[in-house]
Amino acid sequence: MSKTTAFQGARIFTGDTWLNDAVLLVEGGRIAAILDEPEGLGEAEVVTLPKGSVLVPGFIDLQVNGGGGVMLNDAQTVEGIATICAAHARFGTTALLPTLITDRVDITGATIEAGIEAARLGVPGFLGLHLEGPHLSVARKGAHDPSLIRPMEEEDLQRLLDTVGKMPVLMTTVAPENVTAEQVDILSGAGILVSLGHTDCDADTVLDYAAAGARAVTHLFNAMSQLGNREPGVVGAALEEGMLHAGLIADGFHVNPITMRIALAAKNGPGRIFLVTDAMSTIGTDLEGFTLNGRQIYRKDGRLTLADGTLAGADIDMLSSIRFVHETLGLPLGEALRMASLYPAEAASMASSKGRLAPGMDADFVILDEALDLQATYIGGVEVYTA
């Protein structure tokens, strides 16, 4: 019989509502119950949290290029994936998609194999992979190496289809310039999360691809056609089309706070805007830079850039992103937390097990203090990080 652990003394945010004086019961890696009061705990091991503590759903990040000094592009191994996951657990992320930036075919293949093995071994925090490219638009390449960008061929399509069932989530960012609507239909029909990004296409094309099965837009506003008075672009279509979810980098550099507020007010549902970090290897380190596809990336004043000033990913963690939308944008704390937990879980079709605290859900949660500083991270009911 599995041991039952009772967490008491904290204010609990379930993802739906705030509970005072409630008790969270964890058994076998899942949430067994949430009790209204600390009575009838039986033989449960009781963990009494410090006064002022807040217990919230674990954060979910669908775009993480690196962390802990490691870039996935340079470490297509289970060890590399585990390092990235552990680095982000220090900031409350309990499930993430290590993200491969456009690279060679052999690198992509090795990354997929590492992801399959990481899933088999149950690496804590590993939710699956996000393959960002190489089937993008050169016109909206951002920091991606244009020499590696190319159309999706049959071999590429089959490589993705062969991963189905071998990891919980496979996400791929593609551009209509180099991927057909028919290919999107095949991928989405197989259960792969297709996201549109690094594209200069028009709004009508986005809507056509959403009809074909695309369900997300990658880092809204960045590396895409913008909202205009006569042409809504990718941005306008993403906000208008309710079936599309959209990732947002909330570091204050990638998107202006005013623009963020407008987008949040304008987004049609049920698709939501959710937080992503687009984090690089610098997270959890004092690195001053790193290389990507042989090019130097510079770290300064919270920004990561190529030599020409092009933003190259972000130097932010998920807890800092939550603080930004809560404190700078003025979102209620509960909504800021949902943007980092429930909404990405919905985007990744994982909301039946992650993103909220309720009986039967995975026991992935974070304990914060009154100042919203992280105290501990739990994945599957196991403490993986403590401050």
Question: Please, where in the chain does CATH 3.20.20.140 lie?
Answer: 59-347
Q: What are phi and psi of 47, to 5 degrees?
A: -110, 110
Instruction: Tell me the fold of 59-347.
Output: TIM Barrel (3.20.20)
Q: Give residue 128's region: left, alpha or beta (phi > 0; psi -120 to 50).
A: left
Taking the C-alpha atoms of residue 279 and residue 88, their distance in angstroms, rounded to an integer, is 9
Q: Are 218 and 247 in contact, with CB atoms under 8 Å apart?
A: yes
Q: What is the pLDDT of residue 41?
A: 76
**pLDDT value, residue 275:** 98
> How does strand 295-300 pair with strand 289-292?
antiparallel
Contact 156, 112 (CB under 8 A): no
What CA–CA distance (Å, rounded) separates 245 from 346? 9
Look at the block and give the residue holding tokens 């989405």.
188
Predicted TM-score (pTM) of this structure = 0.96
Q: β-strand 18-19 against 93-101: which pairing, if any?
A: unpaired
Rounded Cα distance between 231 and 205, Å, is: 12
Residue 278 known to be catalytic: yes
Phi then psi for residue 323, to 5 deg, are -60, -40
The residues near 216 (Cβ < 8 Å, ≥ 6 apart) are: 171, 193, 194, 195, 196, 244, 245, 246, 247, 271, 347
Write the burial class of residue 203 (CB in 10 Å: 0-12 exposed, 13-18 middle, 19+ buried): buried
Backbone angles phi, psi at 176, to 5 degrees: -55, -20
Q: Which of 156, 251, 278, 362 is catalytic?
A: 278
For the residues of 277-290, what is the DSSP string, one character each? --B-TTTTS---EE
Contact between 133 and 149 (Cβ < 8 Å)? yes
Widest Cα–Cα separation across the chain: 66
CA separation for the pair 93, 31 (Å, rounded): 18
Q: Where in the chain is the domain with CATH 2.30.40.10?
A: 4-56+355-386
12 CB-near residues (< 8 Å, 6+ apart): 18, 19, 22, 24, 34, 54, 55, 56, 357
d(CA 221, CA 244): 14
Per-residue tens of pLDDT for the chain, all 387 residues: 578 999 999 999 999 999 998 999 999 999 999 998 777 677 889 999 999 999 999 999 999 999 999 999 999 999 999 999 999 999 999 999 999 999 999 999 999 999 999 999 999 999 999 999 999 999 999 889 999 999 999 999 999 999 999 999 999 999 999 999 999 999 999 999 999 999 999 999 999 999 999 999 999 999 999 999 999 999 999 999 999 999 999 999 999 999 999 999 999 999 999 999 999 999 999 888 888 888 898 998 888 898 988 888 889 999 999 999 999 999 999 999 999 999 999 999 999 999 999 999 999 999 999 999 999 999 999 999 999
Cβ atoms of residues 96 and 345 within 8 Å: no
Quickly count helices (H) and strands (E) in the chain.
10, 23
Give the SS3 label for residue 94.
strand
How far are the Cα atoms of 59, 171, 189, 196 from residue 115, in angstroms, in the given order? 20, 12, 21, 22
Contact 171, 130 (CB under 8 A): yes
Span 4-56+355-386 CATH architecture: Roll (2.30)
Q: What angle do CA 382, 372, 279 make, to 5 degrees?
A: 75
